């Protein structure tokens, strides 16, 4: 009897040409399709959505007879002859082209095979600088377009735009442009439908998706590509808003339900705080109590300016967990910050008659963590907390300080060690409203603007160029009058550095700056023992000893890297000097400035830079003029993008196709309005599904 062979089920046929695999286009074999799939591009629709990074603009062509030496010009001409010089590497390819007014020699540089991409008698658009070579003129080519990319003859007098893309290694730009034109033609019917009302309102006139993609890739006028990007960014923004809405309703139930006693524990907590809480701190703590009175778990973002007292809000979830007979863990990005939080929590636990907290950092605690899970109710630690071997008995609350220093997967690993624990993310860097509503729209926000010591008096001053010569005298004067000084360097020991007053190349290195500071202070008879070095390569004991000696001992100057950027609390520090200040972002500079003036005492921040670019000077001047972290965060976002605010580990969609979906306030407002009006389908007429989920998951 013959075996019965069950036929394999065939994959469902694509419902649209947009869903066809790339192999449906000519030239897309297995290797090219696989190269694109690594970037998430698997269908014709994905290919069309992949935007150009920029366009090279070719101005209306100039007749060859009208060319003049020294000008940058565009020539539209026919190729008559070509020649490649040299044998290997980058060689000069010479082209002889002609138009009805004359002939012109052109030279361009590239690999030897480049000459093979030009065909005799084809029409070319060439852009470059006109140079004189003997008695004739020559065009040094900076960009070119082949015949199939040129505008029709009746538009030859208008500008032409060449798109440039970030492409996989196997995909040549010319092949990619051909594939785009083929995909547009293949999907013409689906793309010819009018845009839905919410997108048409943004366009200002009735358009089709075919026009949008045509303008995105092959614009015919300035501004067309930007218009198309906004339409497609709106689609992505709607997908993100739908995902945020879903996430807000996906919070699991808290083990044991609501915690009604949280309000009573808050009264005890406030009484145990060593200073009076600000109105913002009280409102944020009330937000936490409200979270505990619901049966679902807390998911909250606490954001505040430098010195706004975030720590005294952040510790409360740990106390609630301990009072409930369970465990609470605080995760800090550095050992110095973890030790400082541990000391604060140790004092607080003593006041509340709770067991002392356990510190979990490198070199502290049991070596075989897999054999001895943490049983203490209060825990403070660094990255070791989310180690696969580290276990908890009953983790009920997780507080992540400096949340942007950790990736989403790292936070998830720690959360996974408990049964649906409450989560509080703490951001020491104020987050602009736009980003807060998108990246953290699934979290409930609490904001701290007030400071416990409102009379903050920190003067910021620029020492640029020759003004740096006064730095040594400024340091001596500050130390002689009894002040304490941070000197912050961008590097530990790399880079070529002479001293801060001399011209330097590379970065100011702490290991070379410290001896210079000691020599400068010796002029005033100040002992070298008053200067110490602090950076991440030191062992734990040395770092803690030097920080303690600076905070309450004989040290007067601490030369450090950005290891002191956040959380380091030296109340009587009076000056911070930032070397190579133009290398830092505004948000990071604001954190460094926050190390001084922490109790309302007068302090100074000196920004030192050798020869910053004009835009860097403008940025530093803006920093010196503002002491509002939220204002500086908005400026930093506008100037440098979200990376500085959020950290590279979790940039997710920020490095993706349409960052406008996160950063454009008007688009965000339109996306929220569209979701509120019931929009659930993409521009392609399909419900937002796996693509939107995959995109947003990169953020969490």
Q: For residues 448 and 565, what is the distance between their CA atoms, to the nearest angstrom? A: 19
Q: Do both 443 and 462 map to the same domain? A: no
* DSSP category for residue 400: E
* Residues linked to residue 54 through DSSP beta bridges, in sequence order: 164
- Picking from 233, 43, 240, the residue whose alpha carbon sits closest to that of residue 652 is 240
Q: What pTM, to 2 d.p., does this model score?
A: 0.69
Is 252 inside a domain boundary? no
Cβ contacts of 116 within 8 Å, gap of 6 or more: none
Residues 465 and 435 in one domain: no
Tokens of 82: 């070509």
Inter-residue contact 483 to 606 (CB < 8 Å): no
| Residue where a domain terminates, one of 448, 466, 501 | 448
| CATH code of 98's domain | 2.40.50.140
What would the two tokens of residue 407 be?
């990736």
Same domain, 443 and 467: no
Q: How many domains does the chain have?
A: 3
Q: Of the candidates 580, 602, 626, which is a domain's last residue?
A: 626
**In whole angstroms, what is the distance from residue 572 CA to residue 486 CA?**
11
Q: Are residues 475 and 556 in the same domain?
A: yes
CA distance 635 to 619: 9
Alpha carbon distance 421, 415 (integer Å): 7
Q: Do 327 and 412 belong together in one domain?
A: yes
* CATH code, 573: 3.40.50.300
Residue 432 lies in a domain: yes
Distance between CA atoms of residues 79 and 92, nearest Å = 16
Kindly state whether residue 442 falls inside one of the protein's structural domains.
yes
Q: What is the largest CA-CA distance in the chain?
A: 104
Give every CB contact of residue 656 below 8 A, 6+ residues apart in sequence: 695, 698
8 A C-beta contact, residue 565 and residue 495: no
CA dihedral angle for residue 422, residue 362, residue 376, residue 281, rounded to 10 degrees: -40
Does some domain include residue 268? yes
Residue 382 lies in a domain: yes
Q: Which residues pair with 145 in a beta bridge?
A: 125
Closest by CA to 131, choosing from 67, 187, 185, 57, is: 67
Answer yes or no: do 279 and 412 share one domain: yes
Whether residue 433 is found in the same domain as residue 292:
yes
Strand partners, 481: none
Q: Cα separation of 273 and 312, whole Å?
A: 8
Phi and psi angles of residue 605, each rounded to the nearest 5 degrees, phi first: -120, 120
DSSP notation for 581-596: GGGS-HHHHHHHHTTS
Question: Structural domain of residue 138, as residue ranges?
Answer: 54-164
The strand ranges marked E within 485-602 are 485-488, 531-534, 557-560, 575-579
In this structure, are 511 and 424 located in the same domain?
no
What pLDDT score does 689 carry? 58
Tokens of 676: 């509120």
- Note whether 74 and 104 are within 8 A (CB): no
Domain boundary among 603, 626, 649: 626
What are the b/e assignments for 171-180, b being 16+ CB within 10 Å? beeeebbbbb
Same domain, 127 and 58: yes
Residues of the chain with confidence (pLDDT) below 70: 1-15, 86-89, 149, 151-158, 363-371, 407-409, 432-439, 454, 494-506, 567, 600, 637-656, 689-700
Does 321 share its domain with 434?
yes
Query: Is there a domain that residue 276 lies in?
Result: yes
Which residue shows structure tokens 């807060």? 436
**Rg of the chain's alpha carbons, rounded to an integer?**
31
Same domain, 363 and 484: no
Q: Are residues 326 and 387 in the same domain?
A: yes
Whether the CB-CB separation of 335 and 459 falls below 8 Å is answered with no
CB 563 within 8 A of CB 595: no
183: number of Cβ within 10 Å: 25
Residue 217 lies in a domain: no
190 token code pair: 């689906």
Residue 685 resides in a domain: no
């Amino acid at each position: 009897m013959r075996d019965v062979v069950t036929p394999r089920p065939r994959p469902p046929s694509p419902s649209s040409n947009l869903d066809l695999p790339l192999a449906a286009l000519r030239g897309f074999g297995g290797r090219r399709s696989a190269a694109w799939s690594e970037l998430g591009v698997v269908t014709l629709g994905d290919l069309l959505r992949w935007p150009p990074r920029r366009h090279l603009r070719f101005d209306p062509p100039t007749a060859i007879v009208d060319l003049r030496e020294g000008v940058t010009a565009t020539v539209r001409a026919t190729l008559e002859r070509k020649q490649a010089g040299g044998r290997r590497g980058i060689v000069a390819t010479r082209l002889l082209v002609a138009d009805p007014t004359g002939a012109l020699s052109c030279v361009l540089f590239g690999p030897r095979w480049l000459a093979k991409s030009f065909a005799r008698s084809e029409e070319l658009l060439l852009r470059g600088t006109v140079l004189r070579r003997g008695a004739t003129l020559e065009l040094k080519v900076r960009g070119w377009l082949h015949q199939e990319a040129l505008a029709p003859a009746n538009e030859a007098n208008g500008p032409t735009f060449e798109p440039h893309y970030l492409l996989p290694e196997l995909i040549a730009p010319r092949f990619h442009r051909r594939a785009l034109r083929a995909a547009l033609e293949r999907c013409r019917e689906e793309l010819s439908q009018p845009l839905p009302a919410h997108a048409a309102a943004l366009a200002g006139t009735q358009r089709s998706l075919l026009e949008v993609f045509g303008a995105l890739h092959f614009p015919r006028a300035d501004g067309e590509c930007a218009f198309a990007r906004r339409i497609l960014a709106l689609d992505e923004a709607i997908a993100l808003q739908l995902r945020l809405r879903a996430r807000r309703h996906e919070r699991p139930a808290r083990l044991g339900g609501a915690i009604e006693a949280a309000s009573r524990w808050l009264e005890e907590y406030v009484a145990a705080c060593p200073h009076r809480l600000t109105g913002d701190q009280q409102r944020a703590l009330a937000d936490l109590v409200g979270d505990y009175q619901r049966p679902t778990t807390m998911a909250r973002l606490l954001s505040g300016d430098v010195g706004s007292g975030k720590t005294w809000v952040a510790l409360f979830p740990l106390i609630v967990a301990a009072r409930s007979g369970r465990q609470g863990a605080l995760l800090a990005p550095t050992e110095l910050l973890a030790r400082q939080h541990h000391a604060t929590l140790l004092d607080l636990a003593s006041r509340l008659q709770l067991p002392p907290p356990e510190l979990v950092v490198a070199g502290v605690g049991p070596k075989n963590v897999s054999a001895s899970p943490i049983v203490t109710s209060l825990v403070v630690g660094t990255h070791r907390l989310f180690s696969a071997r580290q276990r908890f008995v009953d983790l009920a609350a997780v507080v992540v300080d400096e949340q942007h220093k950790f990736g989403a997967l790292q936070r998830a690993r720690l959360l996974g060690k408990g049964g649906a624990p409450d989560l509080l993310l703490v951001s020491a860097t104020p987050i602009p409203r736009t980003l807060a509503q998108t990246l953290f729209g699934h979290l409930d926000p609490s904001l701290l603007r007030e400071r416990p010591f409102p009379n903050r008096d920190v003067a910021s001053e620029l020492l640029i160029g020759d003004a740096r010569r006064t730095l040594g005298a400024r340091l001596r004067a500050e130390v002689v009058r009894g002040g304490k000084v941070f000197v912050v360097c961008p590097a530990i020991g790399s880079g070529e550095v002479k001293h801060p007053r001399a011209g330097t190349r590379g970065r100011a290195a702490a290991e070379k700056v410290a001896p210079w500071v000691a020599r400068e202070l010796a002029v005033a008879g100040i002992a070298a023992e008053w200067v110490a070095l602090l950076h991440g390569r030191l062992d734990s004991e040395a770092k803690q000893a030097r920080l303690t000696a600076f905070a309450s001992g004989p040290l007067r100057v601490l030369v450090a890297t950005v290891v002191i950027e956040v959380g380091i609390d030296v109340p009587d520090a009076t000056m911070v000097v930032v070397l190579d200040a133009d290398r830092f972002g505004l948000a990071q500079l604001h954190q460094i400035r926050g190390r001084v003036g922490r109790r309302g005492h007068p302090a100074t921040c000196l920004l030192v830079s050798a020869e910053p670019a004009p835009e860097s000077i403008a940025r530093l001047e803006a920093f010196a003029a503002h002491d509002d972290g939220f204002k500086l965060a908005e400026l930093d976002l506008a100037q440098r993008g979200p990376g500085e605010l959020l950290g590279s580990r979790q940039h997710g969609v920020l490095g993706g196709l349409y960052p406008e979906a996160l950063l454009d306030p008007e688009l965000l407002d339109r996306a929220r309005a569209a979701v509120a009006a019931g929009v659930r389908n993409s521009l392609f007429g399909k419900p937002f599904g796996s693509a939107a989920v995959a995109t947003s998951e990169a953020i969490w």
